[in-house]
Structure formats: C-alpha cells, structure tokens
Chain A
Amino acid sequence: MISDILRWGTKRPEAPAAGTQGVRGDAPAVPSKGLPKFIAGLSQMDSPVLLDFGPVIGSNVEFFGERLGCKLFIEDLLADIDRHTRGGTLDTLPDAIVKRFRHGDASVDGILCWDIFDFLDKKAATALATQIVRMLKPGGLVMGFFCSLPVDKASLTKYEIVDEKSLRHRPHAGPAGPKRVLQNRDIIRMFEGLVVSDSFLLKTNTREMLLRRK
C-alpha cells in the first residue's frame, strides 16, 4: 500500500513501440546498423537474388519475398555445421562448402551470412568466402556479423527480421561450438575482390559488416 503511494506520480516505464519488441515475447528486438544499409542496397536492384545462410524463418521470407521482391535461396549452413559437428566430420566441411552451392558465377545480388563465420575454422571460412566472392554479382552486397571476443561454447543464433532497423536474436537448436575472432585484416584478405562498404561496432562487441563487390 505504502509502496503504491510512493510509486504514484512517478514516471512509468514506456511501453515498447509496436513492431519492435514483445511480438513473440521471447526475445527483445535488437537494433541493427547494417541491416538498413543492406535493405536499401537490395531495394535499388530489380528482382534481386538473395542467399540466406541461416535457417528458414517465415517472417524473413515474407519480408524479403513479399516486400522487397527478392528471389530467396535458403542455404542453411547452420544445419551443415550442426550435422558435421554431430558426425565428427568437421574436417570435411570446407570441401562440403565448395560442393554445396549450385549458383553460377556472378549470379547473386545479396548474401546474408549472419554470424556464420564465427563458427567456422580458418579453412572452412576461406572456402566459404571464396564461394561468396565467386557467386556475387558486381555491386552485390554481403552482410555478416563478426564477434570481437572469442567464446569457448556459444549457442547457435537465428536472426529474425522485426523491421528495417532491428532484428530478434533467437536461440537455434544445435550443439554449442567455439566462436573464433576474425580480425578486420583477415576478413579483407578473405574476401578479396570485395570492399568493406560499412562497418559498425555495436555495444555488444559485434561487428556488423557490409561488403560490396567492386
């Protein structure tokens, strides 16, 4: 009762803005600096071809397919990592990555890597980067998240688009693995042929990077 009286007249916490938080109630929406740039780049293209390296998410499909008119290819690399980890065949992952993609050279306008590179060793990361550079059209965009601190056991995350400026980070089923740090110079070297068009260091120590093919 007394606490109610004391609380009376104080400023109440603001309700979350519609569409940014609390739709599912399981994870808050996290602002992204790279996503708006990536979307703006894609929306300049006519019927862009987009590769998503994360697991399929209905709202992302709706966002890119219906709103941006993308032709979307789901290439769930998290599932591949999960399968190879469980099977103890992670050493064969680089070869599997090379054989995986059916896309021709310079045939893709945008690639959503999310944080996939954090979970790859150097050989697999280089193999994937080579494939990305091969598949990307001139002017095409890549968005990737890179951690700044190594983590021994990190759970997999899937990224759900809430709106043009924010994402919801949701846990994804699969064995936890180590997260490796790729230095900026390593990233630039790996993606030879691409230029870093934007790079943002978030408060979470995640680097959101946008790369563009020359």
Chain B
Amino acid sequence: MWKRDEAVKPTAPAGSSPAPTPAVGTPPPAADAVRTTTPITHSEPQRGMEKTTVNIGKSVVIKGELSGSEDLTIEGQVDGKIELRQNVLTIGPNGKIKAQVFAKSVVILGEVTGNVTATEKVDIRDNGSVDGDIAAPRVAIAEGAHFRGSIDMQRAGAKPSESKSESKQAASSAAQTSGAAAGASR
C-alpha cells in the first residue's frame, strides 16, 4: 500500500510540471492537442517567462548605444548611451556605467556617471553611486548611497499647482504656528 502511493507521486514538484494532468474519466487527448492546450492551461507561468531579463555579465564592456525592449541587468561596463524606454534597467553591484540613461525605471546598485532619466522611478540602493543629474517623478535614495548632482522630480504634464496646494497650506500653517511660538518665546 505504501509502495503504491510513492509510485503515484510525481518526482518533480507539482508547480514545476509544465504538462497538465488530464481529468479523470476524460479520454486522453492526441499529442498535438496537448501541445496546443499546454500554454493556455499554464498561462500565468508562461506570461512570467515571457518577461525576460537580459543580463550583461561582469566581463562585458560595451562602448556605444544600447537600446532594447526587455528588462536589463548590467554587471559589466557600458560607455555611451542606454535606452530602455519601456523597461526596467538594473545596474548591478559590479556595474560601471558612463552613459546617458533613459528607462522606465532604473535601479542602481553599482556606479553611474552620467544623467539618468526615468519615466517612473530611479532607485539608488545602498552602496549605489550616481554622479549626474536625475530626472524622474519618483526618486528613492537609500542610506549609504552616494549622489552628486541635481534631482528634478517635476512630472511632465503634471499640474504643480494642484500637487503643491496641500503642501503650501501645510507649510503656511506650520509657519504661522511657529511664528506665534517664536513670538511668544522672544
């Protein structure tokens, strides 16, 4: 009885098996049909696999323009220009970039010398370094990161008056209260 149960168990984990197990009682489909139905039944993992990340290794040196439509991780060295307007660019801890960077989102763990423009976010992680100007609607800089340059978080097409109105109100009320407090303390 125990032996029989073990024989039924699949060797690989259930999640990793690409082929679906046919329902009990249904006739086994033809080989071609299985091939065509497989991506549909496992659509989610397939979709995840479609979004590949290309990796440029430590020993790779690129001089020139680098552009693409896939997420990219750079551990090597790039001198020139990087354009991934719809994708995420990750500069790994070993990455050394001397380039103008344009991407949807940029994560920096290595060194970047040059201007970085992102349509979504620039994230400088711990030990990441940027010498250049950043333009992105959101910028996160971790403790221990190095940065020298300017940061422009103005969103293209954003209405600054709307976004600033709340902070203006808060700031003016804060100034009033502090002014009153200062007046009292003087």
Contacts and interface: CB of A to CB of B under 8 A. Distances in A.
Contacts of A44: 168
A39 B175 contact: yes
Contacts of A56: 141, 145-147
A37 B182 CA distance: 11
A47 B151 contact: no
Contacts, number: 86
Interface string A51-79: 00000111001100111110111111000
B29 interface: no
Nearest to A203: B185
B150 A40 contact: no
Contact of A65 (B143, B147, B153, B171): B153
Contacts of A75: 148
A187 B151 CA distance: 30
B45 interface: no
A150 interface: no
Judged by DSSP, the binding face of A is mixed
Interface in B146-171: 146-154, 160, 163-164, 167-168, 170-171
B154 A71 contact: yes
A40 B171 contact: yes
B140 interface: yes
Given A36-B178, A47-B154, A165-B178, A57 B141 contact: yes
A42 to B, nearest CB: 8
Given A69-B154, A69-B163, A58 B178 contact: no
A157 B177 CA distance: 27
Contact of A71 (B148, B151, B178, B182): B151
A58 B172 contact: no
Interface string B170-186: 11101101110110010
Contacts of B54: none
A164 interface: yes
A16 B150 CA distance: 35
B107 interface: no
B56 interface: no
A115 to B, nearest CB: 19
6 contacts: A33-B181, A36-B174, A47-B154, A74-B147, A76-B148, A165-B174
